[in-house]
Amino acid sequence: MVYIRQDKLPKLNEYKYSGVDHSLVSRYVLKPFYNNVVIQCFPIWMAPNLITLTGFGFVVANFLTMLWYTPTLDQDCPRWVYASWAIGLFLYQTFDAVDGTQARRTKQSGPLGELFDHGVDALNTTLEVLLFSAATNLGQGWKTVLTLFASLMTFYVQTWDEYHTHTLTLGIISGPVEGILTLCIVYAVTALVGGGSFWQRSLLASLSIPHYSFIPAVVYNLAWNEWWMGYGGIVLVFNTVMSARNVMEARRGRGQKTRVALLGLLTFAAAWVLIPAYLYLQPMILHNHLVPFVFYAGLINAYSVGRIIISHLTKSRFPRGNVLIYPLIYGVADSLGPFLQERVGFGWPSALGDGVYQVAFVFLCVGLSVGVHGSFIVDVIWTICDYLDIWCLTIKYPQPAEGEEEGKKGK
């Protein structure tokens, strides 16, 4: 499949990065640290995309330790595991932020860098959902599914916002900055307290706050991990409203209809009608094989986000639909027949059946999504590199750094 048409390739030459970061933490703490300290640790010959990929390697290592020590997302791990997750995620955030500085430093800024950066971030979002669920002992269930929904929606809406406004806007509180730092704190505290079971305790009770009569029992008994989910929900609503406002204002400023932009959210909505429906119809997958299913759902979102970025870079129409949800449609339809037979007396037999066949179906979906998204990544990177005459992970035509160039002129 061709993801970038030949007549759209010249639009890549018009690319110019535009981003706004309103985070105070980023402005006064992180960026000075990145630009004055961290960037000096990377050699001038190192390609920006290689920095991004190296940072992602830390998250992959975290994910592998999670699969080894708590594949069910509800077992306590050794303290060093949680500490390594905090360090690995902070290194990922640092490498992910420094790649832009390295691109400007080596004069390698371009559309491939933005695509590569967003593509890696999309994969990291799913892996961090699993790591957070494991760190807080959410287990395999609806709490992890809700965490996945909030995380993927935040990322999708932010990319949808960038497509319509042509600017990457990070709010006062955003996932790439405060969200990641929050996760680092959660992992570090989990290491200090000795395990994820700590987060299942009542927050108010563990802080020695008396159960006053005006505090409902439901609120008083809320566990730490449930408060974390509430915090994430507030951030989700805030960022979604801000992104929608940005898109509406941008389209009105260009004299375009605002409701057309809202149709772009239907792709995400369609996937998230099917995902909980399938899990409700197949509780065995929800409670026993959720990790591979979460990976599949994450790749559905990553594929959509990647196509949006490509459309943004080539100034093409907004992509609607997602081929990766077709197996999910079949899974829901197949599981719905026996459910209707049991509840209302009529339906249709399942072709897949239950048990091991449903597990095999989920892994088939994972394999299909890896193949489709992988082919998308390879095709797009190959096309962009060929057209712009660049390499992906190495610098094809090294340019002198700004300081070196000035030194040569002085001589």
Q: Measuring CA to CA, which residue among 67, 75, 191 is closest to residue 139?
A: 75
**Residues 214-273 pLDDT 10s:** 888 888 888 888 888 888 888 888 888 888 899 999 889 888 888 888 899 999 999 999
Q: Which is the catalytic residue, given 22, 118, 164, 373?
A: 118
**Residues 148-177 pLDDT 10s:** 999 999 999 999 999 999 888 887 877 788
Dihedral angle over CA of 57, 58, 60, 65, nearest 10:
140
Instruction: Reply yes or no on whether the pLDDT at 402 is more than 60.
Output: no
Query: Cα–Cα distance between 171 and 20 in angstroms, integer?
Result: 8
Q: Give the pLDDT score at 1.
A: 61
| Range of weakest confidence among 20-34, 126-140, 300-314, 325-339 | 20-34
Mean model confidence pLDDT for the chain: 90
The residues near 373 (Cβ < 8 Å, ≥ 6 apart) are 299, 302, 303, 306, 324
pLDDT band at 323 (very low <50, low <70, confident <90, very high): very high
166 is catalytic: no
The radius of gyration of the chain from alpha carbons, rounded to an integer in Å, stands at 23
**Residues 287-297 pLDDT 10s:** 999 999 999 99
Q: Give the pLDDT score at 409.
A: 47
Contact 286, 341 (CB under 8 A): no
pLDDT band at 404 (very low <50, low <70, confident <90, very high): low
Query: Cα–Cα distance between 10 and 14 in angstroms, integer?
Result: 7
End-to-end Cα separation, the chain, in angstroms: 52
pLDDT band at 396 (very low <50, low <70, confident <90, very high): confident
Query: Cα–Cα distance between 103 and 185 in angstroms, integer?
Result: 29
Instruction: Reply yes or no on whether the pLDDT at 399 is more than 80.
Output: no
